[in-house]
Amino acid sequence: MNCRKARKLLHRYFDGELAAALSTEVRAHLDSCAGCAAEFQALEALRKAVQSLPDVAPLPGLWARVEREVAAPRTLSIWEEAEPWFRRLVPVAAAALVLAACALVASRGPKAEAPPIGRQLAAAVFPSYEEAILLNGPISSDMVLRATIYRGGRSVNEAR
């Protein structure tokens, strides 16, 4: 057995979850490899440290609360039900929308009135962008980046 395989099995060996033959192989590796043996000793030290902690009494009513949470019907949000590829796509789409809105406004010049659809898109994607348009101020790429990150984080939280 090599170190890579031994490290992969180390926690299961530590918890006594390996079949006898595999467990013997890991033990043999630990007897012949100082690095993996040190890793295993660190696990043992951690277990001893945890076991030496004093018991803490749970707050009254904790178990009842846990049981209520477990029994409560759980409905998935739209965000949780969405396919992973779609969830990855949302921030990208938001960034593309911001950039498109910026390009639209930039093509009109700094003093020009933004077209209604551009204003609506900008307001939907990020509020500070809308403010910048209203104030006729310059829009930096940093603002776009911050707003994209802000908007991405917020849409995730709102959906939850």
Per CB under 5 A, residues contacting Zn ion are 3, 6, 33, 36
Q: Is the dihedral of CA 113, 116, 122, 128 positive or negative?
A: positive
Q: Is 113 buried (19+), middle (13-18) or exposed (0-12) by CB count in 10 A?
A: exposed
Taking the C-alpha atoms of residue 126 and residue 153, their distance in angstroms, rounded to an integer, is 12
CB of 23 to Zn ion, least distance (A): 16
CB of 48 to Zn ion, least distance (A): 22
Nearest residue (CB) to Zn ion, 43 versus 104: 43
Nearest residue (CB) to Zn ion, 33 versus 149: 33
CB of 12 to Zn ion, least distance (A): 16
CB of 2 to Zn ion, least distance (A): 7
Do 129 and 101 form a contact (C-beta atoms < 8 A)? Answer: yes
Nearest residue (CB) to Zn ion, 35 versus 137: 35
Under DSSP, the state recorded for 135 is T
